[in-house]
Chain A
Amino acid sequence: MAIQVVNFPFCNFYSLERYLRVSSHAFHVLTGAESPSISDIIMLPGVGTFQQGMDYLLETGLAPMILKHASAGGRVIGICLGMQMLLNSSSESSGVEGLGLIPGVCERIPLAPSFSVPHIGWNSLVLPEFLHSSAVQHRIPSVFSCSDFYFVHSYFAKPSIADSTIASFEHPSGHLAAAIGLGSVIGFQFHPEKSGSAGYALLNHVLGR
């Protein structure tokens, strides 16, 4: 098993790199040149707009590579914009097609008097009591609802399969997705690689399974 990281321009690659280094995970930068092996884990970070992200994945030829990897059962971990691109589309960049690995869309966080957008800062995870679908391989252990995680975003995921939402954050309009998963694919809206020791523990858990 090797970890293959997509190195976006305009992306805070270094915080993920620090996590991997401190946690002694060997990793490579995923280029379009060489296909990952099925046992590899692709990590898809990303900061910027949905369009910038998808343009990069298409120009570099990484989009078909990631799709092929995931459809063969390979593992993919998206973080922030990397999570949003797992879905079909985003109202941030209308007309731009996402990877579609998890059915659903991204929408702007609804305005509410008591909730600032962008949603910047530390927030708690609300974990579902149980998930029905056996298609969802990933679970976030309940211990992670005792720590807060760092969020920076203006758009949020709306997966069309309810069980794809594996963690949420509280918003005046209800619970919005903080992490999504389907099959071998998982995505975090928040930044575990910037959430101090709790975030590192969560990534260790996800990579270790």
Chain B
Amino acid sequence: MKKRIIPSILLRGGTNVSLSQHFTPWRTVGALAQQLRLHVRRNCDELLIINTDLAGSSCFSCSQRLLSLVRQEVDIPIAYAGGISSAEDAASCINAGFDKVYLTSAFIDNASVVSAVASVIGSQSTGVCLPYRRSVGSDVPLFWDFRSDELRQDLTLLEVLRAAVASGAGEVLLYSVDRDGSLQGLDVSLLNLLEKSRISVPVLMAGGAGASEHFSAALMSPAVQGVVAGSIFALTQETPATIRSHCESMGIAMRRP
């Protein structure tokens, strides 16, 4: 299986695309149509749209403009995150042209939503995105609830990761909020934990990728199937092609477009 490079596209205010820092939109970098075209032309492996307008809300609806752009521009797999809280939401997303959805808030509030979603759209299309941070002076990654800006002392990342898989998630995205937007490197301190815990579904990492070496450091691990990144594609010269060729030189099996 080839390791994946997945640009994330953060939507804020309709179809404006923004960069994020610490899981919060901060700077608009363009419009959705142009960003989709750019990433597709550059042969990334998959795309992730994070709709921050709906994140944490429970009234999901996708604008027709968003859907028609996705249908027009994208010839690779594309996932959606933001406001999915039921099997109906997830099914309407898949029927509208997305390949996969990610749940966060709905899963934390009620883990059984994930199995309900998976039973309708299949576990391969059901992902869970877990933003996490560490408290000062602690090594233990904890789930971070962006709605209340609260570090959940009762939920270690490993526990919620296991709960997500047990609930039927077909893929899990671990999102380091502390590193998000920093370009300082992915949270490789997590790799040891992941390798020991032998998660049975694909695990993706996000937060901090700012150079090709950051991708290879994470993708070298058998426990990580892909890296999600945003800022690197807007703020540096790196492209999926440069990252891919670096990773290949490190002996990592990457997709051949």
Contact = CB atoms under 8 A, between A and B. Distances in A.
A19 interface: yes
Contact residues of B: prevailing secondary structure: loop
Contacts of B122: 47-49, 118, 154
A15 interface: yes
B15 to A, nearest CB: 18
A110 interface: no
A115 B1 contact: yes
Contacts of B95: 9-11
Contacts of B255: 122, 148
Contact of A147 (B124, B198, B256): B256
Nearest to A123: B1
Interface stretch (B72-80, B102-110, B131-139): B72-80
B170 interface: yes
A117 B226 CA distance: 15
The secondary-structure label for the interface of chain A is mixed
User: For the side of the interface on A, what is the size category?
Assistant: 35 or more
Interface stretch (A61-69, A70-78, A195-203): A195-203
A197 B125 contact: no
Interface in B92-118: 94-99
Contacts of B121: 10, 47-48
A140 interface: no
Contacts of B225: 116, 120-121
Interface residues on B, range: 35 or more
Nearest to A199: B75
A152 B124 contact: yes
Contacts of B72: 18
Given A10-B120, A121-B1, A152 B75 contact: no
Interface in A112-148: 113-124, 146-148
A115 to B, nearest CB: 7
B174 to A, nearest CB: 15
B125 A148 contact: no
Interface of B: 1-2, 4, 40, 43, 45, 70-72, 74-77, 91, 94-99, 120-125, 170-171, 198, 200-202, 222, 225-226, 255-257
8 contacts: A15-B99, A113-B198, A118-B124, A120-B170, A121-B45, A122-B1, A147-B256, A147-B257
Interface of A: 9-12, 14-15, 17-19, 22, 47-49, 113-124, 146-148, 150, 152-154, 191, 193-200
